Structure 1
Amino acid sequence: MKLARNLIATAVLVTAGVSAFAQAGETVKIGWIDPLSGLMGPVGSNQIKSFQFFAEKFNATNPAKVKFEMVPFDNKLSPAESLNALKAAMDQGVRYIVQGNGSSVAGALIEAVNKHNERNPGKEILFLNYAAVDPDFTNSKCSYWHFRFDADTSMKMEALTTFMADQKDVKKVYLLNQNYSHGHQVAKYAKENLARKRPDVQIVGEDLHPLAQVRDFAPYIAKIKASGADTVITGNWGSDLALLVKAANEGGYTGKFYTYYTSVTGTPTALGKGGEGRVFQIGYGHYNMGGQNDKWAAEFNTKFKDDFYTNAVVHVFNALGQSMAKAKSTDPVKVAAALEGMKFNSFNGEVEMRKTDHQLQQPLFLAVWQKADKKYPYSPENTGMTLAPVKTFEAYVASTPTSCQMKRPG
């Protein structure tokens, strides 16, 4: 009897061990759907390298003991191409997708994932959004199957205008943005927040231009100068920001730029030393975060001769590893349940995936373009310049309310 009891106890322990680490060693495919061609191709190229680099890092350290494998698809910045990529990914057994460049693309993917999951129980897909920042995705269009690891447009504008409220030299603002949902939202929240915090500030001009199509921004700079604007607010990214600041330098515009994406490929080179002290970026990170992040950035630069700036990649792998360990599964349904409300430490401190809308709550940082120095030494694109932190906004300061009415499985 004693022998039998010992055998039963051993069997229970073994079963518990297998259950706890059922996914150990399992390969988790992650479909990356973003541009590798066209004007935004260089941005996508940098970001897939970032995902591959950190997949390797987290394969060695994630608590779920799984192996992450990136499966890249070039969507050409097109919603239609993205839907084709999603189908191809599912055909390859992918059950996790990541995307970030273009809220128009993200919107199409959210809708497609929702429909697929409703029609195919047991084969659900989870969408991990690392850079598409339209606030609607965690408000009116919120989805159980979508989690955002970037701060949305409203959060960034809340922090940015909190800083601008104290800048007495900001008197006349020009809004220049890309003509799609993100650009519209930047303009909308800029006007609303400035009206509330600085009603004396004048909006002296507003333009929306085609996404990733404009090659010469000189006419826009001429309009900005003619308006008398001392400040430009823009959510432009990639070539649309790089070419804008290049035109500003060449056109002799000396006002300030408040941006979201100064760190992104091509913009540091376009700025050079011309925007010193006049170009600001609001975001959840910057080049000089310190600690492990700086070590990773140096290693990334050595390996790829490129700069690491999409820090949300670290959030994604942190969250996946910890939620899979908590769920004791790689099933997207169980992982989503584990990820809701999860708090974890990442490169910018403790963050929380808000359960009500799946919007990551995290600190934001305002940084300014200046010469690299001993305190802030990282120099992107070998410019001799850097983004140095000016102000930190704790998560509760930048947080914005949500109208999300989450529909959950079952």
Structure 2
Amino acid sequence: MQSSRRLALRAGASSLLGAGLASMAALPAIAAGTGSPGVLKMALVESMSGPFANTGEAVLRNIAWAAERVNQRDAGVKLQLQRYDSKGQNEEALSALRAAIDDGARVILQGNSSATASALIDAINKHNEREPDKRVLFLNYSAVEPSLTNEKCSFWHFRFDAHANMRMAALMDVIRGDQALKGVYLIGQDYSFGQAVLREAEQQLAAQRPDVKIVGRELHPIGRVKDFAPYAVKIKASGAQAVITGNWGNDLTLLVKAARDVGYDGTFYTFYGNALGAPAALGDAGVGKVIAVADWLPNVQTAQSEAFYQSFRARFPKPQDDYVHMRMQLMIEALAQAAQKAGSTTDVVAIARALEQADVTLYGQRGVMRAADHQFQQNLAVGVMERVGSPGVKFDVEGSGYGFRVIRIIPADRAQQPTTCRMVRP
């Protein structure tokens, strides 16, 4: 049974070497031929089907574009990217990991589930100990449960997104000034990340806004709720002036749409409310009401930032192919930098040691890897949803007519959080 699953995964893995992709613009070749000197093989293990397929496709666009950019210049390394569909299941992700390693991957890319990331860290730790000649690195771009770079920190794992506590602190920077806020409703997905967001919201509210009452606390199954109306009704009935949620993907889109449908007019403080259908679902009801935190937003008011966004839109002109991630671009730049510094695409330990010292800048956005816990440090941006064309909103999201006006830039030195990591190095 396990063997047949691995064969199916290998057969289903899509190599981005000139083949068109079914649900996005066809990508040109992004690597030298298989086996060529200086080729670093990367495997994207992500949901490409099921309820979170849109998040997987968004990641794929970003990683492929970043790899194209590296391969189009003389970076001293060529990147080869192959994708594996985890179907949003940990077991499938672990099978994909084994298939990717068998296919020669040296770098595993994943992020759209902290539970999956945790399972991959454990599996990679064991694999690298058992098979030192086939060691792999794990580059994480979105799994933000804090323990992954604290008590579960691993020499083989590098996180390029701000973890949940960092994101929550950025939102609290805005919440502190919201004097009309008297009651909040906490809602999240019932797994490690969603639980961590609610815990941190409680702790930071108690420390920074003890006058604000938590009037509701709810966890719901991840990826399985089709109708959020019952949750929206409870939120409205609670009298909360605001909702704090770490929901992402369809779980966020359906939640905010249900809130709009029942007439809830409070503020949503979100980790991911700035794309993947959420602005379009809210429409005018979200104007001035949806606040999101990210590593970067398209309406950051600098010429370099605008040039970056415009270059992405030129590469992917369809409105539905929006949602560019600056951190993923920095991640691939850091990987290429590390491989070049290590002078190898196969010596994973040397690449990891170089990656610990990564310091990369792209279009004015700088990121530095903290060696102590492998947590990337970068500025964070907080934005509020507004109609495109209003002051500070030149670019909308996914052709929705709504974008995010930047209201805070949290410098990297203020966004960082302490770590409890005790790194064990080979």
TM-score, normalisation: structure 2 = 0.87
What CA distance in whole angstroms lies between the structure 2 residues aligned with 1:134 and 1:305?
Answer: 28
SS, match of residue 409 in structure 2:
strand
- What amino acid maps onto 1:391 in structure 2? R
Inter-CA distance 62–158: structure 2 relative to 1 (3 Å threshold)? farther
Look up the match of 1:46: 58
**Which of 398, 404, 407 pairs up with 1:387?**
404
Look up the match of 1:326: 341
Inter-CA distance 235–36: structure 2 relative to 1 (3 Å threshold)? same
SS, match of residue 213 in structure 1:
coil
Look up the match of 1:247: 258
Inter-CA distance 62–96: structure 2 relative to 1 (3 Å threshold)? farther
- What amino acid maps onto 2:371 in structure 1? K
- What amino acid maps onto 1:57 in structure 2? R
- What amino acid maps onto 1:345 in structure 2? T
- Asked whether 1:207 is paired with 2:207, we answer no
- Asked whether 1:361 is paired with 2:377, we answer yes
- Asked whether 1:57 is paired with 2:69, we answer yes
**Which of 388, 402, 406 pairs up with 2:419?**
402
CA drift of 1:288 comes to 2.3
| Stretch deviating more after TM superposition (108-117 or 163-172) | 163-172
- What amino acid maps onto 2:207 in structure 1? R
CA drift of 1:387 comes to 1.1
Identify unmatched segments of 5+ residues in structure 2. 1-34
Look up the match of 1:95: 106
What CA distance in whole angstroms lies between the structure 2 residues aligned with 1:103 and 1:364?
Answer: 20
Write the mapping of 1:7-406 to structure 2, written as runs, cut at 5 A: 26-61=38-73, 63=75, 65-289=76-300, 290-302=305-317, 305-330=320-345, 331-347=347-363, 349-373=365-389, 375-406=392-423
CA drift of 1:268 comes to 2.5
CA drift of 1:224 comes to 0.7
> Percent identity at matched positions?
42
Inter-CA distance 233–348: structure 2 relative to 1 (3 Å threshold)? farther
CA drift of 1:305 comes to 5.0
What CA distance in whole angstroms lies between the structure 1 residues aligned with 2:72 and 2:210?
Answer: 52
SS, match of residue 132 in structure 2:
coil
Aligned residues of 2:275 and 2:398 also touching (Cα < 8 A)? no
What CA distance in whole angstroms lies between the structure 1 residues aligned with 2:36 and 2:376?
Answer: 27
Aligned residues of 1:62 and 1:322 also touching (Cα < 8 A)? no
CA drift of 1:25 comes to 5.6
- What amino acid maps onto 1:405 in structure 2? R
Inter-CA distance 324–304: structure 2 relative to 1 (3 Å threshold)? farther
| Stretch deviating more after TM superposition (144-153 or 285-294) | 285-294
CA drift of 1:62 comes to 5.9
What CA distance in whole angstroms lies between the structure 1 residues aligned with 2:363 and 2:239?
Answer: 40
Aligned residues of 1:34 and 1:76 also touching (Cα < 8 A)? yes
- What amino acid maps onto 2:85 in structure 1? D
CA drift of 1:125 comes to 0.4
CA RMSD of aligned residues (A): 1.6
Q: Of the two, which has the highest radius of gyration?
A: 1
What CA distance in whole angstroms lies between the structure 2 residues aligned with 1:198 and 1:380?
Answer: 31
Give CA-to-partner distance per residue, 1:298-328, whole Å, 9 cap, x none: 2233168510333222011110111112111
CA drift of 1:237 comes to 0.2
CA drift of 1:24 comes to 9.3
Which 4+ residue blocks in structure 1 deviate beyond 3 angstroms? Answer: none
TM-score, normalisation: structure 1 = 0.91
Give CA-to-partner distance per residue, 1:109-132, whole Å, 9 cap, x none: 000000000111122100000000
Identify unmatched segments of 5+ residues in structure 1. 1-22
- What amino acid maps onto 1:93 in structure 2? G
